[in-house]
Structure formats: structure tokens, C-alpha cells
């Protein structure tokens, strides 16, 4: 695309204002936001005034926005359960799609998105912005270059001590499909699978807990209403890959642990290991390698300036990098960094953890 890319924003809530719209505004030489849609019209009006072109259009029905032939791309920034129908409609309308994470709340819904995308020649990506953090990029290239050897065990960390989100629809199971597993566990799992470059799953076993809904004291974001807390507070998954590699996924908004570690990963390979420390327990993000140097076990620390991983902080740099890479992929007709086939596997694993808990058995792929 040589002309300025025209973008429609569907969903003008928290993640749109925290990440997508500010990042896209930084790219005003290459793209512009021409239409805004939200079921709460005042949010769309406010977004258009702050981020849109002078004659930006306002909608409360995304189907009306999709009728605009001028729009090249839509960003789907709505609650999880609406990702699939909006994305499918967008592809049917001939648009490129950036959908916020997770791809969908169920594998069936995600499959519909994949099927609709494959019928087009459009671009499709999912909002896993943590891949764009500098220490994540550094570790990814180490893995790609074989510096860790065969990575056969990993941990995907998404644990907060007391940081339940009390805004939006995070606690609404009907709109989100789940709690911390689908909200923040999805980022840690995406990072870990991407580092390992392994998407061949053999089986998943999950534990899910509904223990802390009435434990409102000490929450970073203030108290919540226990009567509306419908999702899990913690979920854990044991994931076995077809080549025998194993991943342990931990996710919680409110776990009584000392260390809050989020959007982080631990990788154990035959040549070396590596850990990313990120989250509320860390003043800055850190990448730590461990290996043997001249017969001596050695740690190598790479410290990088960063923010905390929870919603509302530390997302500016990676959000901007994500947006730039996405717009560049459209301009230059190349694949985006986050491929939908990869995000689909993440959704399938998350669903399998919930299913394993519900059915009390291992889920085989």
C-alpha cells in the first residue's frame, strides 16, 4: 500500500485507549483512524475527537462501519466473546484485521476466524505486544540461534499477588470467557511457545480455582464486588508437546505468593537456560541466562528499562513497536510477526485447561 492506510476502530474502551490508538497516532505519516465504533456512543465520540481525522465517523453498530469501502483495516478491541463474529464479518467485508488477544474465547470461535481469513488475501494478526519487548526479542533470537540447545522444559508465568482488574468486563464470564488464564496467562503462553518454536501439542491437564472471590482486601486496584466475580481467580496447566517437551503454565490475579511474575518465561535447554523477570515484583524487566563457562555455572544478567506488566502500565514502547510492525507489514505486503496460526494454538491450549478441569481428565489433542 502506497497511500495512507485507513483504519476503523471497533471497541473504544481500555485497551484501545491504553495501547492501540496512541500507538497508531504516532504513525500518522502512514495511517489514519477514520471511523470509531463502540456500543457506548460517547466513548466512540471521545476517541474520534482525540485520535481521529477531522471528519471521523462514529458508529454504535460495527456492521455499519464495515460497509465503509474506504476502510482498509479494522482493529477489533472488544470483549473476548465478540472477537470472532466481528473478525469474521470484517474479512467478509474485505478488511485486514488486527484483533486484540486472545484470538477468541473458544477454539470453535477461533476456527471460524481462521476459516474466514483463509478465504481472503487479507492480513490477520493478534495483539500479543509482549513479543516486542526488547528483552523478549533478545531471548527469542538466542533461541532461534540455538544458544539454549534443545528446549525441553519451560514455565509460562502470569501470577499477580493482589491485582484483580476492577474495571471493564474482566470479571464477567459471559463477555470474557474466563479470568486470569485467558487474560494474562495467554501472554505468557504465547511468549513461551514462540521462544520454543513448538506448536505441536500432545496433551493438556489443567487445574482451575474459584477460591478468592470474597478476599477483596489489599487489592492494587481497590475492592471488587464478590457477587459479580464470575471467573476463576487462578488456573494452572501442564502441557506436553509431541516431541516430549513440557510446559507448566501458571496464571492468577490474586495468589498468595511473594513474587508477582507476569508476561515472563523460564526456558531450560540442553546447552543453557534463560529466564525473563517481569511484573509487579520487578522495578525493571530483566533477562537472565544461565550456562556453564569454562566448567563453571555462570549467570549473565541483561537489565533493560521497562514497566510493570499489568494492564495500564509499561505498554507504551511495545505497543508502539507492535503497531509499527503491523502497519509496515501492510505497506510492504509481508507477514506480521504474530501469525494467526500461532495464536490459534494458544487459544486451543487455554480451552483445554478449562476443559480438563471441568471433565477431571487429561485432554489429548
Domain regions of the chain by residue span: 5-130+317-337, 132-311+346-364
Q: How many CB atoms lie within 10 A of CB 92?
A: 12
Q: How far is CA 25 from CA 16, 18, 34, in A?
A: 12, 12, 12
Each of the 365 residues of the chain gets a pLDDT tens digit; together they read 558 999 999 999 999 999 999 999 999 999 999 999 999 999 999 999 999 999 999 999 999 999 999 999 999 999 999 999 999 999 999 999 999 999 999 999 999 999 999 999 999 999 999 999 999 999 999 999 999 999 999 999 999 999 998 988 888 888 888 999 999 999 999 999 999 999 999 999 999 999 999 999 999 899 999 999 999 999 999 999 999 999 999 999 999 999 999 999 999 999 999 999 999 999 889 999 999 999 999 999 986 654 444 344 445 689 999 999 999 999 999 999 999 999 999 999 999 999 999 999 999 99
> Are 10 and 93 within 8 A, CB to CB?
no
Q: Which CATH number fits domain 132-311+346-364: 3.30.360.10, 3.10.20.30, 3.40.50.300, 3.40.640.10?
A: 3.30.360.10
Rounded to whole angstroms, the Cα distance separating 142 from 343 reads: 22
- Classify burial at 49, counting beta carbons within 10 Å of its beta carbon; exposed 0-12, middle 13-18, buried 19 or more: exposed
User: Of the candidates 189, 158, 233, 194, which has an alpha carbon nearest to the alpha carbon of residue 349?
Assistant: 189
How confident is the model over 60-106, as pLDDT tens digits?
999 999 999 999 999 999 999 999 999 999 999 999 999 999 999 99
Rounded to whole angstroms, the Cα distance separating 244 from 251 reads: 23
Count of H-run helices and E-run strands, the chain: 12, 15
How confident is the model over 305-353, as pLDDT tens digits?
544 443 444 456 899 999 999 999 999 999 999 999 999 999 999 999 9
> Are 355 and 207 within 8 A, CB to CB?
no
The model's pTM is: 0.93
Quickly list H helices, 93-163.
Answer: 107-118, 134-144
Q: What is the DSSP letter of 70?
A: T
Can you spell out the DSSP letters for 253-264?
SS---S--EEEE
> Are 23 and 320 within 8 A, CB to CB?
yes
Element (H, E) at 293: strand 286-293
User: Of the candidates 193, 162, 203, 225, which has an alpha carbon nearest to the alpha carbon of residue 339?
Assistant: 193
Rounded to whole angstroms, the Cα distance separating 339 from 346 reads: 11
Q: At what angle do helices 186-196 and 134-144 cross, to 10 degrees?
A: 30
Backbone angles phi, psi at 224, to 5 degrees: -120, 170
Quickly list H helices, 120-264.
Answer: 134-144, 173-176, 180, 186-196
- CATH numeric code, 5-130+317-337: 3.40.50.720
- Classify burial at 332, counting beta carbons within 10 Å of its beta carbon; exposed 0-12, middle 13-18, buried 19 or more: exposed
Amino acid at each position: 500500500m502506497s497511500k495512507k492506510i485507513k483504519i476503523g476502530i471497533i471497541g473504544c474502551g481500555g485497551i484501545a485507549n491504553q495501547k492501540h490508538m496512541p500507538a497508531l497516532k504516532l504513525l500518522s505519516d502512514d495511517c489514519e483512524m477514520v471511523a470509531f465504533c463502540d456500543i457506548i456512543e460517547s466513548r466512540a465520540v471521545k476517541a474520534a475527537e482525540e485520535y481521529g481525522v477531522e471528519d471521523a465517523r462514529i458508529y454504535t453498530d460495527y456492521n455499519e462501519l464495515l460497509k465503509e469501502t474506504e476502510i482498509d483495516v479494522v482493529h477489533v478491541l472488544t470483549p473476548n466473546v465478540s472477537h470472532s463474529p466481528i473478525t469474521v464479518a470484517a474479512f467478509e467485508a474485505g478488511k485486514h484485521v488486527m484483533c486484540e488477544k486472545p484470538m477468541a474465547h473458544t477454539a470453535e470461535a477461533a476456527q471460524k476466524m481462521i476459516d474466514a481469513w483463509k478465504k481472503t488475501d487479507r492480513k490477520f494478526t493478534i495483539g500479543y505486544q509482549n513479543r516486542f519487548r526488547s528483552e523478549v526479542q533478545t531471548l527469542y533470537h538466542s533461541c532461534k540461534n540455538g544458544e539454549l540447545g534443545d528446549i525441553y522444559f519451560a514455565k509460562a508465568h502470569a501470577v499477580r499477588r493482589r491485582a484483580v482488574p476492577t474495571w471493564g468486563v474482566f470479571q464477567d464470564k459471559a463477555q470474557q470467557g474466563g479470568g486470569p488464564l485467558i487474560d494474562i496467562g495467554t501472554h505468557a503462553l504465547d511468549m513461551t511457545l514462540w521462544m520454543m518454536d513448538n506448536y505441536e501439542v500432545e496433551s493438556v491437564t489443567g487445574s482451575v480455582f474459584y477460591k478468592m472471590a470474597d478476599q477483596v482486601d489489599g487489592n492494587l486496584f481497590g475492592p471488587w464486588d464478590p457477587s459479580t466475580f464470575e471467573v476463576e481467580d487462578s488456573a494452572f496447566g501442564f502441557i506436553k508437546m509431541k516431541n516430549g517437551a513440557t510446559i507448566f503454565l501458571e496464571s492468577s490475579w490474586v495468589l498468595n505468593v511473594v513474587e508477582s511474575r507476569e508476561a515472563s518465561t523460564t526456558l531450560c535447554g540442553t546447552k543453557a537456560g534463560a529466564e525473563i523477570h517481569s511484573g509487579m515484583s520487578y522495578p525493571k524487566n530483566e533477562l537472565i541466562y544461565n550456562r556453564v563457562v569454562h566448567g563453571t555455572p555462570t549467570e549473565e544478567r541483561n537489565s533493560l528499562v521497562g514497566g510493570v506488566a499489568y494492564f495500564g502500565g509499561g505498554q507504551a514502547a511495545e505497543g508502539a513497536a507492535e503497531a509499527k510492525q503491523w502497519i509496515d507489514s501492510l505497506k510492504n505486503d509481508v507477514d506480521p510477526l504474530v501469525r494467526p496460526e500461532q495464536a490459534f494454538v494458544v487459544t486451543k491450549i487455554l480451552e483445554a485447561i478449562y476443559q480438563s478441569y471441568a471433565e477431571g481428565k487429561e485432554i489429548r489433542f
